[in-house]
Amino acid sequence: MEKPETTQTGIGRGAALLLVVVVLVVAFFCFKVLRNPAPSIRPVERIEGIGISRHVAFAVTDSRYRIKRVRISVVQNGRTFNAPVTLKPLAVGKPSHGFAVEASAEIGRRSMPELAQGRATLRVAAVNDSWGRFFRGGRALFRLSVPVRFMPPQVEVLTPQQYIYQGGCDMVVFSVSDGTVSSGVQVGKYYFPSWPVKETGPQTRFCLFAFPYDADPSTSAYIVAVDDAGNRTVASFNYKVFPVKFPSSTFAVPDAFMQRVVPPIMSQTTDIRDQGSLVANFVEINRVLRRMDSGRLVQFSRHTGSKWMWTKPFLRQPNTKDEGGFADARTYVYDGKVIDREVHLGDDLASVEHAPVIAANDGLVIYAGWFDIFGNAVIIDHGCGLQSLYGHMASFKVKAGELVKRGQVIGVSDSTGLAGGDHVHYEMLLDGVPISPKEWWDPHWVHDRITARLAQFQ
Ligand SMILES: [Zn+2]
């Protein structure tokens, strides 16, 4: 009697187990097809509006599934305008870390002629290859309500005439219409952003711009303004460029000099490799590391404050002799042969050995440390893209993040880095571009071109 019971129970248990398995499989299946394991969508750049034509890009990422499709469209008054989408894979490491693509498109009136001024919704839909939503794939939706504007920004120039020396600066004041998000002066490949004259009215802007030493005097300068919809205006203004004949000099590079400067610089950098000889390493430092350091100065300029921190003209290091002028084209000679040609972009100011080095003006120390060819260097930010650099120092009396006053001692001079003797390599920079320091030392120039001109609009 016991046996069949046991068998019955055995069959009952088997069936129950099967049922449980079936239920689990069905539940798992339902779970897989009913859920929506959506990818994520993030705009690559801030999108503030739509205009004639603009490029939009979105990073679409998924931790498990491949991205199957991305649609970018503009929806306005119940109508949908689809844009052709370009997909490009984004590197995110191993495939086990998921999948990522950049979806981009051109949107605006040029490709969507029936788009009207007013408002519209930018809509991005991304679908992955999961079983979600009954095999249609998990879907994510990104929506952004933005203004639609077709009139480019209006620019009105408020200063009548600009005079500028090659390698030097001038300032133009102009006003821009509502919706303008960026404006500045373009000189060839160089762009100098503008800043608000008053905090209360961001429409009146001043722009300190340089005519860089390496820009041909015939290079055109324009005011450029871009609005939230990506519309761009190019406006001309009155300026006159005075060409400057920059100095040139020849530098003999003796072995003793290279033996002193090359090993310390090589020991501090991982950016350049040992070229096998002292001369080759010198050239690598003088040419390659110098270029890299120019790039770093542009990076530093991005940390500038949004307000000018100074009021008086800049100070020159006291009791100094000018050893090397701005934009001096230097030819380097070793053993009777030309080994390199570089342009020196600061002023070399020498007095006595281990002389105190002073801050040229009020500002914020943004760097104090070893800086390749400049040796021990300090960079002071004076606001609105204007910065000063002090190179070849022995030691520092300040550290990054410290506010300094005009004339305050910031360190002691020496010949660290790529320097032949004890001096301060002083560089003035505008948005990371070296500019002639002389104008900034001249009280008349600073008053007439900068402070008095700006005061008219404040
Ligand atoms: Zn120098």
- Domain parsing of the chain, residue ranges: 40-148, 155-242, 248-435
CA quadruple 160, 181, 121, 109: dihedral positive or negative? positive
Structure letter (DSSP) for residue 178: T
Same fold, 40-148 and 248-435: no
- Under a CB-based contact definition with an 8 Å cutoff, are residues 38 and 140 in contact? yes
* Distance of CA 449 from the midpoint of ligand 1 (Å): 27
How many Å apart are CA 313 and CA 365, to the nearest integer? 18
Residue 157: Cβ within 10 Å count: 16
- Under a CB-based contact definition with an 8 Å cutoff, are residues 343 and 433 in contact? no
Which pLDDT value is given to residue 205? Answer: 96
* Distance of CA 186 from the midpoint of ligand 1 (Å): 28
Which pLDDT value is given to residue 377? Answer: 98
User: What's the length of the chain?
Assistant: 458
How many Å apart are CA 292 and CA 252, to the nearest integer? 24
* Distance of CA 121 from the midpoint of ligand 1 (Å): 55
Q: Which residue has the tokens 């324009």?
A: 222
The low-confidence residues of the chain, meaning pLDDT below 70, are: 1-10, 92-97, 322-324
* Distance of CA 69 from the midpoint of ligand 1 (Å): 56
Which pLDDT value is given to residue 1? Answer: 46
Summarize the chain as % helix, strand, coil (round to 5).
20, 40, 35
431: closest CA among 374, 371, 369, 386? Answer: 386
Supply 86's token pair: 């370009």
Q: What is the pTM of this model?
A: 0.81
Burial of 201 (0-12, 13-18, 19+ CB in 10 A): exposed
Structure letter (DSSP) for residue 213: T
Question: E strands of 228-346, at which residues?
Answer: 232-235, 239-242, 248-252, 321-324, 328-334, 337-344
Which pLDDT value is given to residue 324? Answer: 61
Topology classification of domain 248-435: Glucose Permease (Domain IIA) (2.70.70)
CATH code for the structural domain at 155-242: 2.60.40.10
- Under a CB-based contact definition with an 8 Å cutoff, are residues 454 and 410 in contact? no
Query: To which CATH superfamily is domain 40-148 assigned?
Result: Immunoglobulins (2.60.40.10)
* Distance of CA 9 from the midpoint of ligand 1 (Å): 95
Residue 30, H or E segment: helix 2-34
Single-letter amino acid, residue 418: L
Between the alpha carbon of residue 326 and those of residues 248, 322, 427, the distances in Å are 10, 10, 9
Rounded to the nearest angstrom, the gap between the alpha carbon of residue 260 and the centroid of all alpha carbons in its chain is 35
* Distance of CA 420 from the midpoint of ligand 1 (Å): 9
Burial of 225 (0-12, 13-18, 19+ CB in 10 A): buried
- Under a CB-based contact definition with an 8 Å cutoff, are residues 56 and 72 in contact? yes
* Distance of CA 177 from the midpoint of ligand 1 (Å): 43
* Distance of CA 232 from the midpoint of ligand 1 (Å): 40
* Distance of CA 224 from the midpoint of ligand 1 (Å): 34
* Distance of CA 309 from the midpoint of ligand 1 (Å): 26
* Distance of CA 308 from the midpoint of ligand 1 (Å): 26
* Distance of CA 185 from the midpoint of ligand 1 (Å): 28
∠ CA 172-178-179, rounded to 5°? 105
Burial of 8 (0-12, 13-18, 19+ CB in 10 A): exposed
